[in-house]
Homo-oligomer: A and B are copies of this chain.
């Protein structure tokens, strides 16, 4: 660790976008209050950005702005990395820690990719690395996992950790919109970016899932260990079928520590409308935790946005500053367990599969027989809904047939669905959704 003297604690801020500007504002406007909480003066010594000439805020002394990241970091006790992306973020953060500075970051992609190296470097150099803002924005989840639940064993975590997709699914549910229309609305409202790929394909949620799994199970989980499925295939018909069964569709990060190892996945799932996660609306996030002793817990709040995310960043700065005053660090990210990763194909789930069929006698029996011959037990079948799909080679009326299974293997389910799709009365692409069971 740096030989931090008795002078003010020096903060270097890297990046002055949506979150960076709110972080700078809080550090400047709340300096006195924050210093009281720390027990020593904390001071923002500089802000690195690409184009200092273009940055203007009424509360900002523009002489703080610089393009010299390296020089700024050399002189700081705490480096706050809000530039995002993998490089130069990785090099900057590693260099800062090696030189004895503490780091605060909101960079989920960085942590999900290079977490093991970063956590090790933080421990080796006796400096803090905090990242509350990287998972679910303002929602305190990293502190609770690192500290409050440090005496318990986490069994499962379910997270709605991407506000964009939750907003889109919520709009589809309440307004009956199709995915494309809901996405366009989300873009117009500023809830989705012009290129929404990272959100709607589940990649953003997958990064957060890797970080949460590492903290929850004390083992290294990186982005390459996560299987992610997005929401682009969800249709208004899926939503209608869910509503009819008193369920909602949510994009979930699902983290489990089971017999065959750690499973970290992101997928859209059907959940009961009385489940606490079902009432997470709009762009809000929530993380549901099931721990052996604590039972069920849920954390809810704003998962994105400048001020909420800055609240988490400044909370981390205060925590690290207090440690500097005390001459200590917080708990290292302990990855003392070396748990295996459960193979995806062996993962079990219940499924809701929706087929479009040419309606004729014997269809249900034939499909049920196909599931039975694969050893999958059926929980329920529903043939009420009319599809909007068209089949140009068929003159009769099309019908939807929805099969909900009991728990079964992913790989067996896929083989069964493939077999059913080869039957001559089945048309179109089936919809396959996992069902969260209580």
Contact A317 B151 (CB under 8 A): yes
B residues less than 8 Å from A301 (CB atoms): 294-298
Q: Does A307 contact B (CB under 8 A)?
A: yes
Quick one: closest B residue to A284, CB to CB? B296
A313 to B148 alpha-carbon distance, docked (Å)? 9
Q: Which of A145-199 contact B (CB under 8 A)?
A: 147-153
Given A144-B143, A147-B319, A298-B300: A311 in contact with B334 (beta carbons within 8 A): no
Counted per complex, copies of this chain come to 2
Q: Does A82 contact B (CB under 8 A)?
A: no
Contact B315 A152 (CB under 8 A): yes
Contact B144 A218 (CB under 8 A): no
A2 CB, nearest partner CB in chain B, Å:
16
Quick one: closest B residue to A331, CB to CB? B322
B residues less than 8 Å from A57 (CB atoms): none
A296 to B301 alpha-carbon distance, docked (Å)? 6
Contact A150 B318 (CB under 8 A): yes
A11 to B305 alpha-carbon distance, docked (Å)? 43
Q: Does A28 contact B (CB under 8 A)?
A: no
Residue in contact with A297 in the complex, picked from B36, B149, B300, B326, CB distance below 8 Å? B300
Stretch at the interface among A132-140, A370-378, A387-395, A396-404: A132-140
Contact B311 A152 (CB under 8 A): yes
Residue in contact with A26 in the complex, picked from B39, B151, B316, CB distance below 8 Å? B151
Given A298-B301, A311-B152, A328-B326: A336 in contact with B36 (beta carbons within 8 A): yes
Contact A293 B276 (CB under 8 A): no
Contact A151 B36 (CB under 8 A): no
B residues less than 8 Å from A311 (CB atoms): 149, 151-152, 291-294
Given A144-B144, A148-B143, A153-B33: A293 in contact with B307 (beta carbons within 8 A): yes
A295 to B284 alpha-carbon distance, docked (Å)? 11
A429 to B101 alpha-carbon distance, docked (Å)? 66
Q: Does A427 contact B (CB under 8 A)?
A: no
A34 to B292 alpha-carbon distance, docked (Å)? 14
Residue in contact with A140 in the complex, picked from B36, B138, B149, B318, CB distance below 8 Å? B149
A308 CB, nearest partner CB in chain B, Å:
5
Contact code string A270-286 (vs B, CB < 8 Å = 1, else 0): 00000010010000000
Most buried by B among A33, A39, A151, A314: A151
Interface residues on A, range: 35 or more
B residues less than 8 Å from A37 (CB atoms): 150, 218, 331, 334, 336
Contact B36 A315 (CB under 8 A): no
Residue in contact with A138 in the complex, picked from B295, B305, B328, CB distance below 8 Å? B295
A26 to B138 alpha-carbon distance, docked (Å)? 31
A200 CB, nearest partner CB in chain B, Å:
24
Quick one: closest B residue to A148, CB to CB? B140
Q: Does A312 contact B (CB under 8 A)?
A: yes
B residues less than 8 Å from A297 (CB atoms): 138-140, 299-302
Q: Does A22 contact B (CB under 8 A)?
A: yes
Quick one: closest B residue to A23, CB to CB? B151
B residues less than 8 Å from A257 (CB atoms): none
Quick one: closest B residue to A140, CB to CB? B148
A315 to B139 alpha-carbon distance, docked (Å)? 19
Contact B307 A294 (CB under 8 A): yes
Q: Does A341 contact B (CB under 8 A)?
A: no
Given A300-B276, A328-B327: A151 in contact with B295 (beta carbons within 8 A): no
A47 to B314 alpha-carbon distance, docked (Å)? 41
Q: Does A406 contact B (CB under 8 A)?
A: no
List 16 A–B pairs whose Cβ atoms lie within 8 Å, in order of A's numbering.
A36-B336, A37-B150, A138-B291, A140-B148, A140-B149, A140-B297, A144-B148, A147-B315, A147-B319, A294-B302, A294-B312, A295-B308, A297-B301, A298-B298, A300-B300, A326-B328
With A138-B295, A291-B311 known, 4 other A-B pairs at CB within 8 A are: A33-B153, A138-B293, A140-B297, A293-B311
Q: Which 3 A-B pairs have the closest CB atoms?
A: A151-B314, A140-B148, A328-B328
